[in-house]
Amino acid sequence: MAAEGQGPTAGEYIRHHLMHLTSQKQDFIVDFSVINIDSVVFSVLMGMLGVWLLWLGARRATSGVPGRFQAAVEILVEMVDTQAKGVIHNAASRKVIAPMALTVFVWIFFMNAMDLLPLDLLPALWHSAAPALGFNDHLRVVPTADLSTTLGLSVSVLLMCLFYNIKIKGLGGWAHELVTAPFGTSKNPLWALLLGAVNFLMQMIEFVAKTVSHGMRLFGNMFAGELVFMLIALLGGFAALSFTGGLLFVGHLITGTVWAIFHILVITLQAFIFMMLALIYLGQAHDAH
């Protein structure tokens, strides 16, 4: 990563931290044969943690005065249920979609929260264990800073939207909507064919745009937050190498603390936004144009 006997430069340090633990070397920008093992492992672990906490909250629920943990879970469930009722007007669908939205919020929150761990903690531990296991020493611990994770989540929402479009409107009704909305149709066969093609194209563009922007929004915010933590870590590194290290170290502590506190809001807000957009898109799948 750097010349022998020397530490990495700032650029090398950042590039190293942006490399994934992968199943094989990636030769192209888009290579679906490559699996980012670190993103898969940490997303599964955070999902298990979220499910366990929700299960624990349900198991410990009592009808008396709730404790702080039960109260927190109840507030969270009520918040998600209220949002679901506001956009999903089908009670039967809400029985599936509301728990899904709750799971998504908790899961994404915990994946985002991995950004609050000390930047070099887990990568340093992995660096000492990787050679013995036969892996490279790259490791990224924030799954939502990986575009493949966030696009995977948004594509899952897209598949649910397609399912509910067909379930609620019927295959024929949805197909009719694809060629008649948003510009309507015409009694003239030629104009009807032209409008149908334009409507279908606009619908496909809408589905693709919503899916890509849904995943990119979460990825962009978490990737930027990760980069800021790297820059703050570099500030601490420069403090150890400079004569004015004392001032830089104080700046490192202040900026790190301020950004970490602010980032708590970011990770929560991004989880909420992703959940709300999923609810809105699923609500649109229930509404006829």
Active site residues per annotation: 213, 217, 221
DSSP 34: -
In which element (H, E) is residue 256 found? helix 245-286
Q: Measure CA 215 to chain center.
A: 7
Q: Return d(Cα 288, Cα 44) in angstroms, integer.
A: 36
Apex CA 157: angle with CA 84 and CA 166, to 5°? 85
Among 98, 73, 78, CA closest to 88 = 98
Burial class (CB in 10 A: 0-12, 13-18, 19+), 252: buried
Q: Which two tokens stand for residue 198?
A: 């334009």
Residues 214 and 277: beta-carbon distance below 8 Å: yes
Question: To which residue do tokens 């013995």 refer?
Answer: 132
The beta-carbon contacts of 47-55 under 8 Å, at least 24 apart in sequence, are 47/107, 47/110, 49/110, 50/103, 50/106, 50/107, 50/109, 50/110, 51/103, 53/106, 54/102, 54/103, 54/106
Residues 234 and 13: beta-carbon distance below 8 Å: yes
Q: Which SS3 state, helix, strand or coil, does residue 120 take?
A: coil
* 22, β-bridge pairs: 36
Q: Which two tokens stand for residue 80?
A: 């998600």
